[in-house]
Amino acid sequence: MRLLIKKIDDDGRLSLVPQFLETSWEVEVVDTGDLDAFGRAMSRADALVSMSWKWDLASASHLKLLQLPGAGTDEIDFSRVPPCTAVCNCYEHEIGIAEYVLGAMLEWTIGLRRMDPQFREGDWAGSYLCGPLHGELFGKTLGIVGYGRIGREVARRAKPFGMRIIACTRTPRREDEFADRVDGMERFGQLLAEADFIAVTSPLNDQTRGLFDRRAFSAMRPHAVIINVARGAIIDEAALYAALVERRIGGAILDVWYRYPQQGQARFATAASHPFQELDNVLLTPHASAWTEGLLPRRNRAIATNLDRLARGEPLLNIVRAPT
């Protein structure tokens, strides 16, 4: 069996896949910038690991598996993927993202990054001696939009803090061990009206693109904080910026963006059209929530498991589109 890995991904993030394989695979690194060479390699391939597919390649007509090394499918042009090719994704990022959401809410509520430099200068503001008081997560309502793997992991961690958990999702469950209520998206407006924090964990698709618009921000509580760990485009950029500048919401914690640098590029100052970095009611991070020390080993093992299943003729896991 032959596996193709794109050259741009040959930077260590897939290096553990061979260690976890139990079946025999020959791994070939390919440069997708050279379409002729890529096409020739594809004619020999049984599987490709890639987060994107934008090619019309006749030589890929027998490819058995397009394995995504992540969850999102917004970079896959399914109309170009050969019909015989199964498309599978993988997860394993939900642990890191859930911890990020909890850490971000705790930081927003307690304010360690504010108190530390003040105290270094001898300022006791925030102490029991002179106040002011800081908040607690206990008793607050966390709204989760999109209640899949990430949303449930967030709820799993928030519940022991004494938070009330409500969620909206396309496929609601009647009962859930972590959420106090799980509704369909028809009750999205109710979630906005009740939540103190709103975690956006839904996939980006035609239904969720621009879901958070000016109308949605108007429905939120004036102190509520939105946390986006999903995709930037789920939140209308201009509407969010206006809500923050006009202080119609309490703030935003943003880990996902509207424009990205090339992979490996460390400096890039235009992640958005609006200057969010100038606002004092935001926390901003560079799509770092999932990028933890445990992510790559878990994902490499998951990819290897699916490759082993393909080699053995066993049912594949996490099928996004089945072959025809």
pLDDT at 197: 98
Percent of the chain with pLDDT strictly greater than 70: 100
DSSP state of 323: -
Provide the total of helices (H) and of strands (E) in the chain, helices listed first.
Answer: 9, 13
pLDDT at 64: 97
pLDDT at 10: 74
Residue 83 has pLDDT above 90, yes or no: yes
Q: What is the mean pLDDT of residues 229-251?
A: 98
Residue 11 has pLDDT above 80, yes or no: no
Q: What is the mean pLDDT of residues 120-128?
A: 96
The residues, any chain, with a CB within 8 Å of residue 214's CB and separated by 6 or more, are 236, 239, 242, 243
- In whole angstroms, give the CA distance from residue 116 to residue 184: 42
b (16+ CB within 10 A) / e for 184-205: ebebbeebbebbbbbbbbbbbe
**Dihedral, CA atoms, 73, 76, 80, 81, nearest 10 degrees?**
-60
Place of tokens 């996490």: 318
8 A C-beta contact, residue 60 and residue 4: no
DSSP state of 131: B
Is residue 162 exposed (0-12), middle (13-18) or buried (19+ Cβ within 10 Å)?
Answer: exposed
Among candidate residues 93, 223, 274, 287, the one labeled active-site is 287
Ranking 27-41, 102-116, 310-324 by mean pLDDT, the lowest is 27-41
pLDDT range class, residue 155, cuts 50, 70, 90: very high
8 A C-beta contact, residue 257 and residue 272: yes
pLDDT at 39: 92
Task: Quote the strand ranges of 89-217, DSSP E.
Answer: 141-145, 164-168, 181-183, 197-200
Q: What is the mean pLDDT of residues 136-165?
A: 97
Residue 160 has pLDDT above 90, yes or no: yes
Contacts 24+ apart (CB under 8 A), 105-112: 105/137, 105/142, 105/158, 105/197, 105/225, 105/227, 105/253, 106/137, 107/283, 108/197, 108/225, 108/251, 108/253, 108/283, 109/134, 109/135, 109/136, 109/137, 109/140, 110/134, 110/135
Q: What is the mean pLDDT of residues 148-165?
A: 97
8 A C-beta contact, residue 160 and residue 185: no
DSSP assignment of 183-221: E-GGGHHHHHHH-SEEEE-PPPSTTTTT-B-HHHHHHS-
287 is a catalytic site residue: yes
pLDDT at 174: 76
Ranking 65-69, 169-173, 187-191, 270-274 by mean pLDDT, the lowest is 169-173
Residue 205 has pLDDT above 80, yes or no: yes
What are 269-313's pLDDT values in tens digits? Answer: 999 999 999 999 999 999 999 999 999 999 999 999 999 999 999
Q: What is the mean pLDDT of residues 184-189?
A: 96
pLDDT at 264: 82
Place of tokens 């997560």: 137
Residue 81 has pLDDT above 90, yes or no: yes
Q: What is the mean pLDDT of residues 113-123?
A: 96
pLDDT at 117: 96
What are 313-322's pLDDT values in tens digits? Answer: 999 999 999 9
Q: Which residues pair with 165 in a beta bridge?
A: 142
The length of the chain, given as a count of residues: 324
pLDDT at 32: 87
Structure tokens that stand for 181 in this block: 């209520």
Residue 233 has pLDDT above 80, yes or no: yes
Is residue 45 exposed (0-12), middle (13-18) or buried (19+ Cβ within 10 Å)?
Answer: buried
pLDDT at 118: 96
DSSP state of 22: -
pLDDT at 13: 85
Cα 231 to Cα 19, 188, 199, 206, 234: the distances in Å are 32, 18, 12, 13, 6
Cα 43 to Cα 186, 205, 268, 312: the distances in Å are 47, 31, 37, 21
Q: What is the mean pLDDT of residues 78-107?
A: 97
pLDDT range class, residue 9, cuts 50, 70, 90: confident
pLDDT at 244: 98
Structure tokens that stand for 279 in this block: 């606002």
pLDDT at 206: 93
Mean pLDDT of the chain: 95
Q: What is the mean pLDDT of residues 176-189?
A: 96
